[in-house]
Structure 1
Amino acid sequence: MFKKVQIYKTDKYNMLNVEIQGKTLIVREISDQWGEECHTFVSRPEMLHWAGNRFKPENFKGREEELAAIMEAFRSV
């Protein structure tokens, strides 16, 4: 049994979920551009480091609240 946490969902083709399977964290990112990408992490700090690199502040100019919500969702996992 695993727990699934939704980080964001803009529509049925653009979303990011984290599945918690014991100590393993699996990030599933689905986008209309790239399809589904899956990233597996063995620790929460490793996942947060990836999220910090994946969601850079310069890519969210004028959308800082969106970035803050995404990062807060990752921290709450």
Structure 2
Amino acid sequence: MFKKHEIYKKDKYNMLTVEVQGKTLIVREISEEWGEECHTFVSRPQMMHWAENRFRVSDFEGNEQERQSILAALRSV
């Protein structure tokens, strides 16, 4: 059985989830703009490296508190 973590969900077209499948982490990012993107990681540090680049301060649309809460939710997976 896989454990699914909801990182954020604005509506059914804008969300980020993480599925834990044994040692593998599968990040599904769904957006109106890009559709569904799926990223597979073999370690939490690898996933967090992706997250730090994906949610860079300079590119993030939203406030710093939102950005920090997304990163904190990913760290807690």
- State TM-score, norm by structure 2: 0.95
Sequence identity (%)? 70
Q: What residue number does 2:19 align with?
A: 19
Moved over 2 A (4+): 59-62
Amino acid at match of 1:28: R
Q: Which has the higher helix share?
A: 1
RMSD after superposition: 1.2
TM-score (norm 1): 0.95
Aligned partner of 1:64 in structure 2 is 64
* Local SS of the residue matching 2:68: helix
Per-residue CA deviations over 1:9-66 (Å, capped at 9, x if unaligned) read 1111000000000000000000001110000000000000000000001234760100
* Residues 60 and 42 (structure 1), Cα distance of their counterparts in 2 relative to 1, 3 Å cut: same
The answer for the alignment partner of 2:31 in structure 1 is: 31
How many correspondences in the alignment?
77
For structure 1, the 5+ residue unaligned runs are none
Residues 25 and 61 of structure 1: is their aligned pair in 2 closer, same or farther, counting only changes over 3 Å?
A: closer
Structure 2: any 5+ residue segments left out of the alignment?
Answer: none
